Structure 1
Amino acid sequence: MNRKLLSAVLVSTSILFSAGCGDDEAEGESIDVEGCEHLQEGPSAPITAAATATGAPAVSNDHKRYDISLVDVTGGKGGSVTFAASEAGDYLFFVSEDVPLAIRTINGVAVEPEEVAKSSSECSEIKGRYTVELSVGTHVLTFGPTSKTSISLVAEHGEHDHVH
């Protein structure tokens, strides 16, 4: 009897845990829903962008929303943050405002997005989704120039969205 109860508890627990961020594809949830959830609900981490890549604060694909205060740059507001890719592959960057975004390696080599969407039918908070193939290492995300004073960013590993 105790083995049956333990087995039922383990099955129930595994079902609950599989409903989290790591198993959305199995449930049919799109990556936009995942990005939107974090844009809307956080958790959030406030940071201030740097005017240059030197000393730029780091963001991660850690299921957080980064609320980035933009700084004065030529032409308006903007700034840079860094993102360290721990493994090569597709990454998605969701932003809450339609602002210019340039992505470069730490050595300054431009990385062109594979896909850019300026909206989502599943989430009005998404004003930009950039799908980018990154190599292992640190990359610089530079926003602006824009008239906006802040932007929210969510980074997701593309493993959720391999429909090819």
Structure 2
Amino acid sequence: MPIRDYNSFTKVYTEGVLGIVVQPIRRARGSKVEGNFDAKSTAVLKNHTAYYARIVITNESGNAMSLVMPRFDARRSGGGRPDVVLIGGDLAGCREISSPDAFDHKGARWVTCEVGVSSPSRPIQEIHYLAPPYGKEIRLFDDPPPKFNRYYNLGAIVWY
């Protein structure tokens, strides 16, 4: 899929083509989510289910790319938000990995993970990709209004 990502700190666009494969969504007990959680948050996790999917990203264009973590969201059927907002936290064997130092040649590969937590009665069944040109380009602080949204707001790509 084509990307055009604007880094507001360096004021540079990254352009290229990515290959993205989202593996099937799996589940684990919420108590398996590791992180720096207080007692109340740990109790919430114990009563919910963790849903996760490995994501393989490849550089298909061969362009030198400097990527930040692409915007993936774990969602319930129909795009609904999960029951629990998870900030931080990983599952053993499925960790969110930052972009590699070298993603500058065709075939470069990056494996990461998307984790969400919800109740078993309202399971996570979709992974949404929201990075431009899909979704909306984020505007930070005093950045000029992004013209990108006017021309390329194609909506999220969804894996089921």
Shorter-chain-normalised TM-score: which range?
0.3 to 0.5
Which of these two proteins has the greater Rg computed from alpha carbons?
1
TM norm structure 2: 0.33
Q: Which has the higher helix share?
A: 1
If asked which structure has higher relative contact order (CA below 8 Å, sep 6+), I would say 1
TM norm structure 1: 0.33
Q: Which has the higher strand share?
A: 1
